Amino acid sequence: MHLLDKILGRSKSDHPIPVTMTVATATKIVREYGTVLMSETRPGRYVTDVRNLPHPKEYIKQAHILLLRLNTDPKEREALKIGYISLANWQEGVGDRPIGLDMFDLNADPIGLVTQIATHGGILVKWLGVLQDETKALKSELQELGLW
């Protein structure tokens, strides 16, 4: 069993990707993800393709868990929790264009805006549902690990 497994309290069957991760690697992964998080999640943008993450989503999750287990600073722990849950904003199959309100021209005339919503509103609703479901799942994962 890897050191990370012991720290996370997991058996080998709990995660499909065997990873040995040092604190330095976890810190690097979280910092690089934080940079992307700050640039990709702005008002009006909700879901972006997982390809835009700097590392595989599972590695980012594992890095957050490792650092949450080791960190005692309340502000840093809160930032790590927010970062972990924010992974819901990255999904497979979104494509090249992020999904959110910023996909609509809110300055369009009313008929143009209604046309945009009629054309693309369904996709927004679909992805918002996915985002909501994964946000709940990620929070539950942290709660089950005693990190929430």
Give the pLDDT confidence score for residue 18 in this predicted structure. Answer: 42
* pLDDT > 90 fraction of the chain, expressed in percent and rounded: 52
- Residues comprising the chain, all counted: 148
**Predicted structure pTM score:** 0.76
d(CA 41, CA 28): 20
In tens, the pLDDT along 46-71 reads 788 999 999 999 999 999 999 999 99
89 DSSP assignment: G
pLDDT per 10-residue tile (average), the chain, 148 residues = 51 48 94 89 72 95 95 96 94 87 74 76 82 94 93
